């Protein structure tokens, strides 16, 4: 087929897309591209090919992508097809004699509200009882509502901490799934229904119905239950909070008040929802510069703690004073926060012992710090390492605490079965208050952790690519030519999880186990065009300072070695 024939075929697909698109903005965008292709513009031709030669994949992370026209972007046509496909799945799997139901939430990103309303109307038109949350809210409130309202499923319209022009579509299941996100094979079943809709029905032919709006009492109950994570503090730490231009503050403020904590000092420029995210280049607390305004505000008020949520408030970042840091504060890594919160959870579990000792399990993703297993062992708790994502962590039997290194923490699985940056923020703030009573700091507590459990240091390499095939090439090369050493440290074995490993389902992950207790994990990102490398090292001998130095040196050596291998 000549390029001209391919262009004509894509133009026909684009015109069919335009004919069913209810959004004037994306109609105008795609029409301009079609006109440019007709005029022989090769850039426009490549753009049209990128939009129509493939479809934005629906998987265990739902949908996530740039807001723009075409099936390989997030837009009202694609979301309507997804809603109709999900509705068909819910109707097909409904208990005989019962009407399937869904609750839908949305954050402050561009088009989140309209995507949520389209979903609610199409669900109702398909015979599903559809309930829309009353206003823009954090993702954890939606996850809570799935269980609280006892519905069949939930949808959250958010792209979490992605770039400003992205949006996404997370799907949760009720019933036996207890409000966790979807996993295989459900994702493939829903994807097949979405494809059927896309192949057979223009979205203009999808019936729309009347949906319900949830009462504010749903939010009130989330606040009430979340506030129970912490006892009222005996002293009040000096705290700075930022919502990173997202939807976290209003709910966080209510939770803190209900738990007896004073209102924190705010990063005012970032406190209200703003889909443009004007003060950050990337609305992710992990990104360089994202917390600069928080550091500045903390210096003004001499804060003892900085609490940051990402835009949909399912993630939490913590920063503490550090005289050696240029800003006077340093952000703790996700592993540091996870291990401290895991230690807190283990202490609480140990305080409620059964006849056979402590009950419950700590869980983290396979790429998160092995230090959590050391905590579980010390307290006689079960431990489970899962595939990446809270869709897996939340399903750990007997879970009392779970985390993943990407700033995700689950401290109250009886309330929410997903990462929750609000409850985790409260739990960490409670810990800081308890330490302050003793005249101690979070930094002191981190030293105590190293003394008791060893220094579990970690690092990460993220390689962003423009061509996704590059990730596959690197993974294939590592499999074909496995290294005998990394950074001068001998490789003991390499575990390929592609066909599953132990009780883990198959996943495109390589685990490199090294002499001395070190470990490197390599995997493609599930939400961004990145290859991710996770490095862990441990030192259990010597003083706290010596342990830190040894573990840090091992991480540095492994970092240099892996950069050479994946270059």
Give me the active site residues, please.
160
Helix, strand or coil, per DSSP, at residue 550 = helix
Helices (H), 438-491: 442-453, 469-480
**Side-chain-facing half-sphere of 238: CA atoms under 13 Å:** 10
Distance CA 57, CA 73 (A): 10
Q: Over the Cα atoms of the chain, what is R_g?
A: 24
Q: Classify strands 510-514 and 101-106 as parallel, antiparallel or unpaired.
A: unpaired
On whether the CB atoms of residues 412 and 423 are closer than 8 A, the answer is yes
Residue 357: what are its φ and ψ, rounded to 5°? 105, -165
DSSP classification of residue 286: T
Q: How many CB atoms lie within 10 A of CB 161?
A: 27
Which two tokens mark 306?
């900085």
Q: How many CB atoms lie within 10 A of CB 201?
A: 14
Distance CA 165, CA 286 (A): 19
**Side-chain-facing half-sphere of 213: CA atoms under 13 Å:** 5
Distance CA 306, CA 302 (A): 11
Which two tokens mark 78?
């694609």
**Side-chain-facing half-sphere of 112: CA atoms under 13 Å:** 34
Q: At what angle do helices 217-227 and 139-148 cross, to 10 degrees?
A: 100
Distance CA 3, CA 39 (A): 14
On whether the CB atoms of residues 376 and 362 are closer than 8 A, the answer is yes
Helices (H), 247-397: 248-259, 292-301, 334-351, 371-379, 390-393
Residue 425 burial by Cβ neighbours in a 10 Å radius (0-12, 13-18, 19+)? buried
Which two tokens mark 64?
């996530």
DSSP classification of residue 522: E
């Amino acid at each position: 087929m000549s390029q001209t024939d391919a262009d004509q075929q894509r133009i026909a697909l684009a015109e069919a897309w335009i004919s069913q698109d209810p959004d004037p903005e994306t109609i105008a965008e795609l029409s301009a591209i079609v006109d440019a292709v007709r005029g022989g513009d090769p850039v426009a031709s490549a753009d049209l090919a990128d939009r129509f030669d493939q479809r934005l994949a629906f998987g265990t992370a739902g949908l996530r992508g740039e807001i723009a026209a075409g099936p390989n972007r997030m837009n009202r046509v694609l979301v309507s097809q997804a809603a109709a496909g999900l509705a068909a799945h819910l109707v097909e799997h409904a208990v005989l004699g019962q009407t399937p139901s869904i609750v839908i939430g949305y954050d402050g990103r561009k088009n989140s509200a309209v995507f949520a309303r389209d979903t609610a109307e199409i669900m109702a038109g398909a015979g599903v009882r559809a309930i829309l949350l009353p206003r823009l809210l954090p993702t954890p409130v939606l996850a809570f509502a799935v269980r609280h309202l006892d519905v069949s499923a939930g949808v959250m319209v958010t792209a979490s901490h992605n770039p400003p022009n992205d949006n996404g579509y997370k799907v949760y299941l009720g019933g036996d799934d207890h409000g966790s996100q979807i996993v295989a094979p459900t994702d493939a079943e829903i994807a097949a229904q979405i494809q059927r809709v896309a192949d057979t029905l223009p979205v203009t032919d999808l019936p729309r119905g009347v949906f319900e709006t949830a009462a504010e009492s749903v939010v009130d109950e989330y606040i009430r239950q979340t506030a129970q994570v912490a006892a009222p503090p005996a002293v009040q730490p000096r705290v700075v909070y930022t919502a990173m231009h997202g939807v976290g503050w209003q709910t966080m403020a209510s939770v803190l008040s209900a738990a007896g904590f004073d209102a924190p000092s705010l990063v005012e420029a970032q406190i209200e929802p703003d889909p443009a995210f004007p003060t950050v280049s990337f609305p992710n607390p992990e990104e360089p510069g994202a917390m600069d305004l928080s550091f500045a505000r903390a210096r003004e008020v001499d804060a003892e703690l900085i609490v940051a949520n990402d835009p949909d408030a399912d993630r939490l970042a913590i920063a503490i004073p550090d005289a050696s840091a240029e800003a006077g504060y340093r952000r703790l890594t996700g592993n540091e926060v996870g291990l401290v919160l895991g230690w807190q959870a283990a202490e609480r579990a140990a305080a409620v012992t059964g006849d056979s000792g402590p009950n419950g399990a700590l869980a983290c993703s396979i790429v998160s710090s092995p230090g959590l297993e050391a905590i579980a062992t010390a307290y006689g708790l079960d431990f489970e390492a899962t595939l990446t994502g809270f869709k897996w962590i939340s399903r750990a039997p007997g879970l009392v605490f779970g985390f993943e290194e990407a700033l995700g923490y689950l401290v109250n699985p009886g309330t929410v079965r997903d990462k929750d940056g609000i409850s985790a923020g409260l739990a960490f703030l409670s810990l800081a208050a308890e330490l302050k009573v003793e005249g101690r700091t979070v930094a002191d507590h981190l030293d105590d952790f190293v003394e008791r459990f060893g220094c579990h240091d970690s690092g990460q390499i993220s390689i962003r690519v423009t061509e996704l095939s590059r990730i596959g090439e690197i993974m294939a090369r590592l499999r074909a030519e496995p290294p005998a050493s990394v950074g001068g440290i001998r490789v003991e074995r390499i575990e390929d999880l592609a066909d599953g490993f132990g009780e883990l389902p198959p996943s495109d992950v390589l685990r490199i186990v090294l002499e001395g207790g070190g470990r490197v994990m390599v995997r493609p990102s599930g939400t961004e065009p990145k290859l991710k490398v996770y490095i862990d090292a441990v030192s259990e001998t010597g003083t706290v300072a010596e342990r830190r130095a040894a573990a840090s040196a091992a991480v540095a050596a492994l970092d240099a070695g892996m950069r050479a291998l994946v270059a």
